[in-house]
C-alpha cells in the first residue's frame, strides 16, 4: 500500500484534504489525522470492519479499547447513555473542557461495536479542538474511533512525518495539519456518582494536559490504583503498564548519582531544563542531548516537545536513553507517568 501525505497549507488544500478524508472513511478505510494532543488513526466508529483495520495497522491487541471522538457535547448521546446521577457532572466537565484534551469514560450504548470498547460496557469519549478533525467529524456525520497513529506501545506521533515513519505502507492517507499544539495525550477521567448531595468523584485513569488541580474545583479527585494498569484487561485506552516506549532502551534516573555507565555504550540524555546545577548534563560527555524546556523548566513546553524529542533520541543511534525526572506540577505529572511506562524495568524488560 502506498501512503500519501496530504498537506493543508491553504484553505483550498485543507478543504480538499477534508473531502478526501471523508471519502476514505466512508469507504471503510483508516486515515491519520491531527488533533491538538497527538496524531490519531481514525475510522468510522460504527463500522466494525473499519475499526478492525486500526488494530491491524497498529498491531494493537484486541483487549485494548479505543477512544471515540464526537463533534460536540450534544453528540455524546450518539455513543453513550449517561445516567441521571452523573449527568450534571458530565455536563460541567464538557462545558469547561470541551473541545479539548479530556476523555470521559461513560456507559456505552448499543450502537458502539464491541471491538471499539474491547467488550467493556463503557466507552471513552472525547471532543477534539483541532479544526481539521472537527471539520471531518461534521462532514462525515458519524463519530470516529481514533487512537494514536503509531504502532502499538511505541512513541506517540506529533507530526505527519512521525506518523509516516510509524505507519508507512499500512494506511492510505496521512493528513498533515502541522505539529500538535499540546503534544501529550488527553487526560482520561471516569465520573463516579456522588453519595447524597455531595460532589461527584473524578477518577483519573490517565494523566494528561487537564490536571488534577484543574478538575478538583468541580468534583472530588481520585487517582486510579495500579489495578487499572493491566497487561491484558485495561479499563480504558492507554493504560497498559508498558507504553510510549522507544525502540532504544530508556532509563529514568531519579537522582544523578544513580547513573552507571557501561564501557563502549553510547548514551543520549533527555534533559528537563539542561541546567548544570541539576546534576545531569555534567555526568557524562553525552553522545546526544535533547532538552525539553531549555533553562525555564516550563512543564507545558516540556509536554509539547516530549514525544518529538524522545523520537529524535530514539533515531539518533545511541544505545541507551537516560531521562531526567520532570517537575510533577501540572502536566509534568503526565510526562512522568509516560516516562515510567517507557522505562526499562529491572532485569532489562519493559
DSSP letters spanning 104-121: EEEEB-TTS-HHHHTT-S
Give the integer Cα–Cα distance in Å for 118 and 234.
9
User: Which of 138, 154, 176 delimits the end of a domain?
Assistant: 176
% of the chain beyond a pLDDT of 90: 88
Tell me which residue range forms the domain holding 292.
250-342
pTM of this structure: 0.93
pLDDT score, position 350: 46
Cell 531526567 -> residue = 324
pLDDT score, position 240: 77
Asked if the structure places residue 265 within a domain, the reply is yes
Is it the case that residue 207 has pLDDT exceeding 60? yes
Give the integer Cα–Cα distance in Å for 300 and 210.
11
Which CATH number belongs to the domain containing residue 66 in this structure? 3.90.870.10
For 187, phi then psi, to 5°, come to -70, 135
Give the integer Cα–Cα distance in Å for 209 and 182.
7
Tell whether 45 and 136 lie within a shared domain: yes
pLDDT score, position 230: 55
pLDDT score, position 237: 87
Tell whether 160 and 51 lie within a shared domain: yes
Least confident segment among 2-6, 33-37, 165-169, 237-241: 237-241
User: Which of 176, 203, 221 delimits the end of a domain?
Assistant: 176
- Could you read off the pLDDT of 55-84 as tens digits, one per residue? 999 999 999 999 999 999 999 999 999 999
Is it the case that residue 229 has pLDDT exceeding 80? no
* Separation of CA 14 from chain center: 24
Omega before 99 within 30 of 0, i.e. cis? yes
* Separation of CA 251 from chain center: 21
DSSP state of 29: -
Q: Choose among 220, 214, 223: nearest CA to 96.
A: 214
Give me the number of domains the chain comprises: 2
Asked if the structure places residue 220 within a domain, the reply is no
Q: Choose among 48, 40, 1: nearest CA to 21.
A: 40
pLDDT score, position 233: 67
Tell whether 10 and 158 lie within a shared domain: yes
Amino acid at each position: 500500500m502506498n501512503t500519501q501525505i496530504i498537506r493543508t497549507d491553504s484553505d483550498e488544500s485543507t478543504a480538499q484534504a477534508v473531502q478526501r478524508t471523508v471519502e476514505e472513511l466512508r469507504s471503510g478505510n483508516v486515515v491519520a489525522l491531527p488533533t491538538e494532543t497527538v496524531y490519531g488513526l481514525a475510522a468510522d466508529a460504527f463500522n466494525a470492519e473499519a475499526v478492525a483495520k486500526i488494530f491491524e495497522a497498529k498491531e494493537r491487541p484486541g483487549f485494548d479499547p479505543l477512544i471515540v471522538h464526537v463533534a460536540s457535547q450534544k453528540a455524546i448521546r450518539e455513543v453513550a447513555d449517561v445516567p441521571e446521577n452523573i449527568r450534571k457532572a458530565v455536563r460541567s466537565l464538557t462545558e469547561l473542557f470541551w473541545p479539548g484534551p479530556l476523555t470521559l469514560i461513560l456507559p456505552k450504548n448499543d450502537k458502539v461495536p464491541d471491538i471499539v470498547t474491547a467488550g467493556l460496557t463503557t466507552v471513552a469519549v472525547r471532543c477534539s479542538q483541532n479544526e481539521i478533525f472537527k471539520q471531518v467529524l461534521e462532514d462525515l456525520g458519524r463519530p470516529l474511533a481514533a487512537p494514536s497513529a503509531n504502532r502499538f506501545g511505541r512513541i506517540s506521533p506529533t507530526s505527519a512525518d512521525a506518523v509516516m515513519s510509524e505507519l508507512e505502507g499500512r494506511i492510505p492517507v496521512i493528513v498533515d495539519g502541522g505539529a500538535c499544539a499540546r503534544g501529550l495525550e488527553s487526560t482520561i477521567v471516569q465520573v463516579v456518582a456522588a453519595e447524597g448531595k455531595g460532589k461527584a468523584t473524578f477518577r483519573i485513569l490517565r494523566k494528561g494536559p487537564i490536571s488534577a488541580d484543574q478538575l478538583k474545583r468541580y468534583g472530588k479527585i481520585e487517582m486510579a490504583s495500579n489495578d487499572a494498569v493491566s497487561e491484558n484487561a485495561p479499563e480504558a485506552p492507554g493504560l497498559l503498564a508498558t507504553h510510549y516506549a522507544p525502540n532504544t532502551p530508556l532509563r529514568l534516573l531519579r537522582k544523578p548519582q544513580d547513573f552507571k555507565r557501561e564501557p563502549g555504550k553510547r548514551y543520549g540524555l533527555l534533559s528537563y531544563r539542561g541546567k548544570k546545577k541539576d546534576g545531569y548534563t555534567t555526568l557524562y560527555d553525552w553522545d546526544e542531548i535533547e532538552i525539553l524546556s531549555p533553562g525555564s523548566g516550563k512543564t507545558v513546553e516540556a509536554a509539547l516537545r516530549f514525544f518529538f524529542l524522545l523520537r529524535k533520541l530514539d533515531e539518533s543511534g545511541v544505545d541507551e536513553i537516560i531521562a531526567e525526572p520532570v517537575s510533577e506540577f501540572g502536566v509534568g505529572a503526565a510526562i512522568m507517568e509516560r516516562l515510567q511506562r517507557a522505562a526499562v524495568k529491572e532485569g532489562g524488560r519493559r
